[in-house]
Amino acid sequence: MDMDALKRQAAARALEEVRDGMKLGLGTGSTAKHFVELLGEKVRTGLKVVGVPTSEVTRADAIRCGVPLTTLDDIDHLDLTVDGADEIDPALNLIKGGGGALLREKIVAAASDRMIVIADESKWVEVLGRFPLPVEVIPFGLAATRAAMDRAFAQSGASGEMVIRQGKDGHAFVTDGGHWIIDAHLGRIGDAPRLAALLSVIPGVVEHGLFIGLGTSAVLAGAQGIRVVERR
């Protein structure tokens, strides 16, 4: 079975958790897109939900699929967020932001009672860090921010190259919030909660892609079927 079919299976399993009347966070990425499409099918057959998209891309997808939308300006709390991830460890800590939407994704996940992470099995890792860690930064003072990030990596026992993400046009990729992303190629993040705390206090860092304690369950689709992992 191809990867896309596995992603759709994970999305379909997460959809089983959706109930009438729920306020939903809608993730970003190729797996979350399947969820939005399947949710749209349910809405067309009468399911009443409202969604908050985590990116402009997801907003457009949700509108195309007929999913009613609201914002976290109009409501302050969500029942459930369903989103993908770039890596998931056994504590359900995540690396997110491969699609550049980590800031809104984290705001939405943090406003939700539950976050179901949907993915194919390839995203499951024993230790985070093989996937480059996305860190959303303010372009102003970038050299100082990079130096502070380097110190944070060292204090948490990590190190690696930092690369400013580029868009298709060859210029710096700009997030929905108007910021840049540095992808940190760390290889191994031995203490993800500590690194998350250290990055969070750097003034030029808007947000980082370590999601600690936000995922409540993971739905993983693989060749052997679906596996659901609950956070302990």
Ligand X SMILES: O=C(CO)[C@H](O)[C@H](O)COP(=O)(O)O
Check if 105 is active-site.
Answer: yes
CA distance 182 to 72: 27
**Binding residues among 103-132 for ligand X as defined by CB under 6 A:** 105
Residue 45 CB, nearest approach to ligand X (Å): 25
Site mask, ligand X, residues 23-52, x = CB under 6 A? ----xxxxxx--------------------
Burial zone of 168 (CB within 10 Å; 0-12 exposed, 13-18 middle, 19+ buried):
exposed
The CA-atom distances, in angstroms, between 10 and each of 7, 79, 107 are 5, 19, 23
CA distance 93 to 109: 13
Residue 152 CB, nearest approach to ligand X (Å): 21
Burial zone of 171 (CB within 10 Å; 0-12 exposed, 13-18 middle, 19+ buried):
exposed
Q: Is 123 annotated as a binding residue?
A: yes
**Binding residues among 77-106 for ligand X as defined by CB under 6 A:** 83-86, 96-102, 105
The active-site residue, picked from 87, 105, 136, 207, is 105
Maximum alpha-carbon separation in the chain: 53
Residue 119 CB, nearest approach to ligand X (Å): 7
Instruction: Please identify, using beta-carbon distances, which residue of 107 and 150 lies nearer to ligand X.
Output: 107
Q: Is 99 annotated as a binding residue?
A: yes
Which of 141, 114, 135 is CA-nearest to residue 23? Answer: 114
Q: Is 28 annotated as a binding residue?
A: yes
**Annotated binding-site residue numbers for substrate:** 28-31, 83-86, 96-99, 123
Tell me which residues touch ligand X (CB under 6 A): 27-32, 83-86, 96-102, 105
